[in-house]
């Protein structure tokens, strides 16, 4: 049996720590783990399966003899280093937005489009956290009943912006409760011109804005959905629009999704039946017993929780639905490791003769 | 000039304190103020324009010689006492859901359907907080460009459930930050079977559920919108659906609204022009300078803040929009006092010969 040398790029971040944990629990036969980070963290140690591993600085050379790279150190780092890793024979699963829209790079949610992995040319992209959980919930519906339109409003947790951002939100909350003034320095977007407190507030900005008023996060959801479900980020057959809002939650993105199927006779019961057996989905829809998805109960779980399914009685075939998943697991680390597991299972951990080098 | 004796029913609550404050700042010539509450609070004192006023127990007799009642002490209290007040010649503005759906009771947002006040038979209903702000933002659009469909997802602040509920959310947040376990006892709904923490969480339940899976809050938004905009809670011309979610915010409801107009040539620019001069609206839509509505900046203001207007490019005539308003002011106390002001201005503070008595 082949064993793999796996490198985790960005091992010290909020997603990085979960990548380590998810890899520990995965089915991948791991020969060796390399933990990579910036120069600043090099030399420190982190545990993998109880063994202390010294963090190495991420340089092109460090990928020699690596089979698989799990990357989550930001788009700029991926753009610079993943082609170097591919050149050296490593297959990369990238959790940043660096290559998601490249036609040569499969964008994969294993429950939805695992087959796209067979086309990889060295890099596979992990979709955006808010896209992934929506895909897991909607794909079984699309397959059975057809999908014409998706209108989504997100309620995205602070941890989606990273550990420092999350810490800031919690420290703002402390200030507020102590009667002190809150002062945002990171949210809504690190590096943007203005900053606002997130604690006890709502920020309708995730990532920077395009000229048309949509945020990058909103366009990511639109284009990624089209690419994952239809293979083309611009395919107009399935219409998608999104509003992305940051909320003062620690872990777990919520999504209020309105969707129009092509089956005007479709009932809530048939939808529930379908979701009950859908891969990666936990149907949590029992209003009579107040059972519905919540961030606090989804935290730490790999599944996507779906509930509050309701028919739009004035528009047969259209429905409302509420989705929650752990944005650091299915939205990031678990989906990345799950892709790696599928690459291993399908013997796809080989860089092809014509690799994609960015 | 006629002067008015005004009674505030439910003077000690979160909305009650704002009713006092909004009445102090109103144009209504106030002769006398009566502060009414339950037996438990009777005898305590509260200030009105710097003068201490002793709270009286709310009984039928206390409404003798009252001209105007502003009620916010819960639906059961309104059902029991407002007909008694009307019998004694008082015109009532009710901030509870007790009479909203009665055909004999006008449901009024002054910016939208002030003319309905002329039909009152003793009781005028104040709409639900989440409905009001949406009406203020959408009515100018409906008037100019026609409206076919509204799909709304709400982000509702803890204070919408009252002062004790808000206090619980803040105390849960304290527990969480101190590393203690959070335990919900009020949210999502006081008196319902199960309770969950709201701090750092999302609860997709506001009010109890109907058999069809919608919550009362969701049906309120649907029916109230139809009644306010069309005069009939069941009129199918304008299609409305809603998902209502409680979020860990102190004051200020957010709403992500998708709407379909009848004008397929409509542009974001024309919408902005229209909202710029719309009554009660502050257009706050400048993504390039990160200007958009937020609960923290809307708190304490009477206006409804509207921003993030974006065209759904795949559906000409349809748009996304983000709305925030202070749920205790425009969503409750200010809209109530504003209705009272319009009753006074239009000399409508008279109970007609055939009053509505519930």
pLDDT, chain B, mean: 97
Question: Among A92, A120, A129, A223, which one carries the catalytic annotation?
Answer: A129
Q: What is the pLDDT of residues B20-77, one digit of tens each?
A: 999 999 999 999 999 999 999 999 999 999 999 999 999 999 999 999 999 999 999 9
- Unique residue bearing structure tokens 């380590």: A20
CB contact under 8 A, A196 and B307: no
Q: What residues in B contact A155, CB-CB < 8 Å? A: 155, 202, 245, 247
* Residues of B recognised as catalytic: 129, 253
Q: What is the pLDDT of residues B97-110, one digit of tens each?
A: 999 999 999 999 99
- Å between B243 CA and nearest CA of chain A: 7
CB contact under 8 A, A205 and B287: yes
Q: Give the C-alpha separation, A237 to A233, whole Å.
A: 11
A92 is catalytic: no
Question: Domain B4-127+333-345 adopts which CATH fold?
Answer: Rossmann fold (3.40.50)
Structure confidence at residue B115 (pLDDT):
97
Structural tokens at position B169: 């959310």
Which one, of A138, A144, A143, lies nearest residue A259 by Cα?
A138
Nearest Cβ partner of B155 from A245, A258, A307?
Answer: A245
Burial class from Cβ neighbours inside 10 Å (0-12, 13-18, 19+) for residue B115 reads exposed
Buried b or exposed e, range A178-202, using 16+ CB within 10 angstroms: eeeebebebbbbeeeeebbbbbbbb
CB contact under 8 A, B292 and A205: yes
Residue in A closest to B205 by C-alpha: A290
Question: Among A92, A120, A223, A253, which one carries the catalytic annotation?
Answer: A253
Q: What residues in B contact A194, CB-CB < 8 Å? A: 289-290
- A272 touches A309 (CB < 8 A): yes
Q: What residues in A contact B309, CB-CB < 8 Å? A: 213
Q: What is the pLDDT of residues B3-12, one digit of tens each?
A: 999 999 999 9
Residue in A closest to B313 by C-alpha: A241
Q: What is the pLDDT of residues B187-199, one digit of tens each?
A: 999 999 999 999 9
CB contact under 8 A, A177 and B170: yes
- % chain B with pLDDT above 70: 100
In whole angstroms, how far apart are CA B106 and each of B78, B81, B95, B178?
A: 15, 18, 12, 48
How far is Cα of residue A249 from the mean position of the Cα atoms in its chain?
A: 17
CB contact under 8 A, A287 and B213: yes
CATH architecture of A4-127+332-345: 3-Layer(aba) Sandwich (3.40)
B281 backbone dihedrals φ, ψ, rounded to 5°: -105, 135
Sign of the C-alpha dihedral, residues A104, A107, A110, A111?
Answer: negative
Q: Give the C-alpha separation, A206 to A217, whole Å.
A: 6
- B129 touches B14 (CB < 8 A): no
**DSSP state at residue A209:** B
ipTM of model: 0.97
Which one, of A129, A87, A91, A19, lies nearest residue A8 by Cα?
A19
CB contact under 8 A, A258 and B249: no
Residue B306 CB neighbour total at 10 angstroms: 31
Residue in B closest to A253 by C-alpha: B202
What are the residues whose beta carbons fall under 8 Å from the beta carbon of A85, sequence distance 6 or more?
A7, A60, A63, A66, A69, A92
Which stretches within chain B are classed as H helix? Answer: 14-24, 75-87, 110-113, 129-145, 163-177, 216-230, 268-276, 295-298, 334-345
Is B131-327 a domain of CATH 3.40.630.30?
no
Q: What is the pLDDT of residues A37-84, one digit of tens each?
A: 999 999 999 999 999 999 999 999 999 999 999 999 999 999 999 999
Structural tokens at position B25: 């700042």
What count of CB pairs under 8 Å joins A to B? 176
- B198 touches B246 (CB < 8 A): yes
Q: Give the C-alpha separation, A257 to A234, whole Å.
A: 20
Q: Write out the DSSP string of B70-124.
A: EE-S-HHHHHHHHHHHHHTT-EEEE-SSSSTT-TTS-B--HHHHGGGGGG-SSEE
Structure confidence at residue B95 (pLDDT):
97
Structure confidence at residue A156 (pLDDT):
98
Mind listing the pLDDT tens digit of every residue in chain B (358 residues)? 899 999 999 999 999 999 999 999 999 999 999 999 999 999 999 999 999 999 999 999 999 999 999 999 999 999 999 999 999 999 999 999 999 999 999 999 999 999 999 999 999 999 999 999 999 999 999 999 999 999 999 999 999 999 999 999 999 999 999 999 999 999 999 999 999 999 999 999 999 999 999 999 999 999 999 999 999 999 999 999 999 999 999 999 999 999 999 999 999 999 999 999 999 999 999 999 999 999 999 999 999 999 999 999 999 999 999 999 999 999 999 999 999 999 999 999 999 999 999 8
Nearest Cβ partner of A153 from B153, B295, B307?
Answer: B153
Write down the domain spans for chain B.
Answer: 4-127+333-345, 131-327
Instruction: Pick out the residues of the known binding site of A for NADP(+).
Output: 12-15, 40-41, 159-160, 327
Structure confidence at residue B348 (pLDDT):
98
- Unique residue bearing structure tokens 């009642």: B69
Q: What residues in A contact B194, CB-CB < 8 Å? A: 289-290
Instruction: Pick out the residues of the known binding site of B for NADP(+).
Output: 12-15, 40-41, 159-160, 327
- B149 touches B260 (CB < 8 A): yes
CB contact under 8 A, A243 and B254: no
CB contact under 8 A, B308 and A250: no
pLDDT, chain A, mean: 97
A253 is catalytic: yes
């Amino acid at each position: 049996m082949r064993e793999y040398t796996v490198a985790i790029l960005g091992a010290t971040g909020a997603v990085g720590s979960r990548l380590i944990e998810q890899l520990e629990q995965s089915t991948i036969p791991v020969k060796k783990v390399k933990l990579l980070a910036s120069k600043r963290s090099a030399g420190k140690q982190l545990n993998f399966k109880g063994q202390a591993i010294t963090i190495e600085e991420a340089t092109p050379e460090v990928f020699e003899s690596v089979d698989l790279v799990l990357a989550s150190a930001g788009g700029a780092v991926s753009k610079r280093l993943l082609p170097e890793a591919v050149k050296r024979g490593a297959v990369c699963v990238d959790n940043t937005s660096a290559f998601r829209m490249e036609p040569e790079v499969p964008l994969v949610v294993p429950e939805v489009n695992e087959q796209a992995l067979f086309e990889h040319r060295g890099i596979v992209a992990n979709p955006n956290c808010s896209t992934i959980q929506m895909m897991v919930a909607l794909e079984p519906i699309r397959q059975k009943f057809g999908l014409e339109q998706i209108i989504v409003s997100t309620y995205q947790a602070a941890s989606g912006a990273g550990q420092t951002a999350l810490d800031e939100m919690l420290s703002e909350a402390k200030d507020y409760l102590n009667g002190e003034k809150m002062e945002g320095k990171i949210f809504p977007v690190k590096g943007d011109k203005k900053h606002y407190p997130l604690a006890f507030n709502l920020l309708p900005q995730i990532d920077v804005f395009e000229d048309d008023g949509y945020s990058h996060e909103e366009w990511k959801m639109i284009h990624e959905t089209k690419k994952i479900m239809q293979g083309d980020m611009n395919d107009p057959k399935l219409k998608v629009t999104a509003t992305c809002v940051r909320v003062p939650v620690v872990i777990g993105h919520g999504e209020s999704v309105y969707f129009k199927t092509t089956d005007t006779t479709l009932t809530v019961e048939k939808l529930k039946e379908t979701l009950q057996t859908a891969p990666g989905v936990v149907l949590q829809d029992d209003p009579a017993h107040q059972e519905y998805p919540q961030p606090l109960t989804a935290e730490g779980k790999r599944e996507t929780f779906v509930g509050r399914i309701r028919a739009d009685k004035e528009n047969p075939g259209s429905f409302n639905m509420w989705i929650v998943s752990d944005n650091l697991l299915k939205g990031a680390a678990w989906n990345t490791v799950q892709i790696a597991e599928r690459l291993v299972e399908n013997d796809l951990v080989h860089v092809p003769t014509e690799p994609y080098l960015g």
